[in-house]
Amino acid sequence: MMSLLPSLFLLLVTMAAAIPLRPGFYSETCPPAEVIVRDVMRKAMIREPRSVASVMRFQFHDCFVNGCDASLLLDDTPNMTGEKLALSNINSLRSFEVIDEVKEALEKACPGTVSCADIVIMAARDAVALTGGPDWIVRLGRKDSLTASQEDSDNIMPSPRANASFLIDLFSQFNLSVKDLVALSGSHSIGEGRCFSIMFRLYNQSGSGKPDPAIEPRFREKLDKLCPLGGDENVTGDLDATPRLFDNQYFKDLVAGRGFLNSDQTLFTFPQTRKYVKLFSEDQNAFFNAFVEGMLKMGDLQSGRPGEVRTNCRVANSRPVDV
């Protein structure tokens, strides 16, 4: 996996200027764009609180695979297996219908104007702001990809079993620092995770036949009841103690040994990342500021490949057949 990353990183960095991103990109072509996105996100949160956390994760899963181009949103076709069936996405990512609702509202107001890639960026920002986290000005102007690749996603996206050392190496390929890694992991301040992602932690950590010793004993008992051996691995548990509020509780939980995912708890057990976990657990403003910086940096990742503005985020626009 890692052998593919340096070339991808070079592609993203060298082509980053292909589409100049800027605040207020739609100020003339679709002035109400950002208001429309936030309004739909607010309604989605009222309807199902978990949905905004799900939508927020789209930015990470989209941007790390060939840049922020909404390739994640494409449905499979007879000639293309897209990213929705990738190992890190299948039975995990959800609430794609919220993006559909945003796109439908934007198409009514400003047809053919706002890209799905920009919708992902705006919606992720709004998910954080609407749940008590920071708000920030996003840079816009992305184009939507013409295709998607399950293989590309599988070659890049980390497993819930990933440790901090692996994650540090992965994020560095995208010019994201250790501090960025820890701050962006704070996206798990809201939402839920599946039992499937932690069964090995509870019953066979590193092939030992035993639970992860980093799990606080009472928390492990709680997880054992939620996720028993032989139980339904699609059952979900809260990623931190305040799953509807974007705050620094996630980091407090890591310090206490109550991280849900292995890739979360490892941030406290690994020396290079521990100092930032401790900092963010004690200083919520420091976390918020670092999170915004990380989201902006991640949002700038681009491949420079040809793109378009889709009218339906699930399918590439139709093109005339050459004769």
Asked if 117 and 69 touch (Cβ cutoff 8 Å), the reply is: yes
CB count, 10 Å around CB of 97?
A: 11
Paired sense of beta strands 192-194 and 236-238, if any: antiparallel
Task: Please give the structure tokens belonging to residue 150.
Answer: 């399950």
What is the per-residue pLDDT for 295?
98
> Rounded distance, CA 85 to CA 64, Å?
16
Cβ–Cβ under 8 Å, residues 85 and 150:
yes
How crowded is residue 217: how many other Cβ atoms within 10 Å of its Cβ?
10
| 242 marked as part of a ligand binding site | yes
Q: Rounded to whole angstroms, how far apart are CA atoms 116 and 8?
A: 22
Q: What is the pLDDT of residue 8?
A: 53
Supply the DSSP symbol for 193: E
Residues β-bridged to residue 236: 194
The one-letter code for the residue type at 300 is D
Does 247 carry a binding-site annotation? yes
Q: Indicate the average pLDDT of the chain.
A: 91
For the record, the structure tokens of 185 come out as 């992991």
Give the residue extent of every domain in the chain. Answer: 32-156, 164-300
pLDDT at 161: 81
Per DSSP, the residues of 208-253 read SSS--TTS-HHHHHHHHHHS-TTS-TT-EEESSS-TTS-SSHHHHH
Q: Report whether 83 belongs to an annotated binding site.
A: yes
CA separation (Å) from 188 to 53, 148, 253? 8, 26, 11
The tokens 């920030």 sit on which residue?
136
What is the pLDDT at residue 322? 45
32 annotated to a ligand binding site: no
pTM: 0.91
Condensed to tens digits (0 to 9), the pLDDT of residues 261-303 reads 999 999 999 999 999 999 999 999 999 999 999 999 999 999 8
DSSP of 60-78: HHHHTTTSSSSGGGPPPBT
Give percent of the chain above pLDDT 70.
Answer: 93
Would you place residue 319 in the very low, low, confident or very high pLDDT band (cuts 50, 70, 90)? low
pLDDT in tens, 247-261: 999 999 999 999 999
Query: Stretch 82-92: mean pLDDT, rounded?
Result: 82
Give me the helix-helix angle, 96-109 and 116-130, nearest 10°.
110
Output the CA–CA distances (angstroms, integers) from residue 277 to 84, 86, 282, in the order listed.
31, 29, 9
69 is in an annotated binding site: yes
Tell me the per-residue pLDDT of 33-72, one tens digit each, with 9 for 90 and over.
999 999 999 999 999 988 999 999 999 999 999 999 999 9
Q: Say whether pLDDT at 197 is over 80.
A: yes
Nearest 5°: the CA angle 240, 54, 81 is 130
CA 37 to mean position of chain CA atoms: 18
For the chain, the straight-line distance linking the first and the last C-alpha, in angstroms and rounded, comes to 40
Cα 203 from Cα 223, distance rounded (Å): 11
Q: 321 pLDDT exceeds 60?
A: no
The H or E element spanning position 121 is helix 116-130
Q: For the domain bounded by 164-300, which CATH number is listed?
A: 1.10.420.10
Task: Point out the catalytic residue in the list 38, 50, 57, 61.
Answer: 61
67 is in an annotated binding site: yes
Query: Has residue 3 got a pLDDT over 50?
Result: no
Token pair recorded at residue 214: 């980093």
Length of the chain counted residue by residue: 323
| Residue 192 host element (H or E) | strand 192-194
Band the pLDDT of 2: cuts 50, 70, 90: very low
At 120 the three-state DSSP class reads helix
The predicted-structure confidence for 199-216, as pLDDT tens digits, reads as follows 999 999 888 899 999 999
Q: Which fold has domain 32-156?
A: Peroxidase; domain 1 (1.10.520)
61 is catalytic: yes
Q: Is-same-fold flag (32-156; 164-300)?
A: no
Joined together, the tokens standing for residue 8 give 């991808």
Average pLDDT, stretch 185-197? Answer: 93
